[in-house]
Amino acid sequence: MTALNVSNLMKRYPAFVLDGVSFRVEEGRICGLVGANGAGKSTTLKGIMGLIRTEGSAEIFGIPSYEREAKAVVGYAGGGFRAYPQKRVGALANAVAPFYSAWNGEKFARYCDRFGLDPQKKTSELSEGMRVKLSLALALSHGARLLILDEPTSGLDPLSREEFCDTVLSLVREEGVAVLFSTHIVSDLTRIADDIVLLSNGRLLVEEPLRSLAEKYLAATAPDRAALSGAIGVKTVKEGYEGLVPRDRQMKGVALREPTLDEIIVHLEYERRNSGGAGAL
């Protein structure tokens, strides 16, 4: 079932336009939302959450995202919970509970136990990783079926990021929730994402399952730029020049290898900039 359906989302600012972005997030899948700074990730998430006025539409399980029924099944977590720094974890839950008819205090207590959250600690006393887990516990305790995670691993150390990714993956498997995960740390998505949505300069560049995107290309390296004629997003590297080529393409005098997801994203972005356009590739 489609958990989130974003259709032709548009927002105009004097210096930036989010231009007709459309994509879907399916139930039980993790979708990574990626792009360079200024690509439109935050604008997209704010539009989905109804924090800014946009054209187009966003539906959550078939319900317009601005409806109360839709908001009740969405959980949001950012890069660390900083609201109400002097409130204790347990008191914060009591303050949040009245806003959700489906709030489950026993479930919150179970998540606190699972995540190692002390109900007697003030939120200001929690580490960055524990604050993110607090956001997750609050979201999941009111029956959220769609998690929107905005840079949740930003500022976390590698071990905390690993633990967070393990937590999200287990929640999807056990709870069947859908996840839209915005991040600059692409290696996190490599571990857990099912699908990738890549934005570039306010437009959709890629919407594709991660596996099929990874199987599309090889990284091609050559000392001579001319040898990479027709390659995608050619750029200078230590060994000479590098670009992406379709996996089934035959090339002579070129070193071919498996690209990382970071490299695929970078080369697609370079291709968009070099061509002067921003359409899907």
Residue-wise pLDDT for 226-237, tens only, equals 989 889 999 999
User: What whole-number distance in Å separates Cα of residue 146 and Cα of residue 72?
Assistant: 10
Q: How confident is the model at residue 79 (pLDDT cuts 50, 70, 90)?
A: low
Helix, strand, coil proportions of the chain in percent (round to 5)? 35, 30, 35
Predicted confidence (pLDDT) at residue 280 exceeds the cutoff of 50:
no
Mean pLDDT within 132-159: 85
- 131-135, 243-247, 254-258: segment of lowest average pLDDT: 131-135
The ranges assigned to domains in the chain are 2-211, 216-275
User: Residue 177 has which token pair?
Assistant: 């929730």
Share of the chain above pLDDT 70, in %: 95
Predicted confidence (pLDDT) at residue 8 exceeds the cutoff of 70:
yes
User: What whole-number distance in Å separates Cα of residue 169 and Cα of residue 269?
Assistant: 28
Name, in order, each residue with C-beta under 8 angstroms of 174's C-beta and a sequence gap of 6 or more.
none
Predicted confidence (pLDDT) at residue 180 exceeds the cutoff of 90:
yes
User: What whole-number distance in Å separates Cα of residue 275 and Cα of residue 136?
Assistant: 41
pLDDT of 200 reads: 94
CATH superfamily of 2-211: P-loop containing nucleotide triphosphate hydrolases (3.40.50.300)
Predicted confidence (pLDDT) at residue 6 exceeds the cutoff of 70:
yes
pLDDT of 26 reads: 96
The three-state secondary structure class of 234 is: strand
User: Residue 170 has which token pair?
Assistant: 């287990």
CA dist list (Å): 143 to 85, 101, 152, 157: 25, 10, 20, 29
- 19-23, 196-200, 227-231: segment of lowest average pLDDT: 227-231
Place of tokens 């839709």: 70
Q: How confident is the model at residue 7 (pLDDT cuts 50, 70, 90)?
A: very high
First-to-last alpha carbon distance for the chain, in angstroms, is 26
**The dihedral of CA 172, 174, 176, 177: what is its sign?**
negative
pLDDT of 102 reads: 84
Mean pLDDT within 220-230: 91
Q: Give the pTM.
A: 0.87
State pLDDT tens for residues 251-279.
Answer: 888 999 999 999 999 999 999 888 765 44
User: What whole-number distance in Å separates Cα of residue 224 and Cα of residue 226?
Assistant: 5
Q: How confident is the model at residue 162 (pLDDT cuts 50, 70, 90)?
A: confident
E strands present in 151-261: 178-182, 195-200, 203-209, 217-222, 232-237, 240-246, 255-257
User: What average pLDDT does the chain have?
Assistant: 89
Q: How confident is the model at residue 82 (pLDDT cuts 50, 70, 90)?
A: low
Share of the chain above pLDDT 90, in %: 55
User: What whole-number distance in Å separates Cα of residue 200 and Cα of residue 281?
Assistant: 11
- Please give the angle made by the CA atoms of 198, 200 and 204, to the nearest 5 degrees: 55
User: What whole-number distance in Å separates Cα of residue 129 and Cα of residue 131?
Assistant: 5
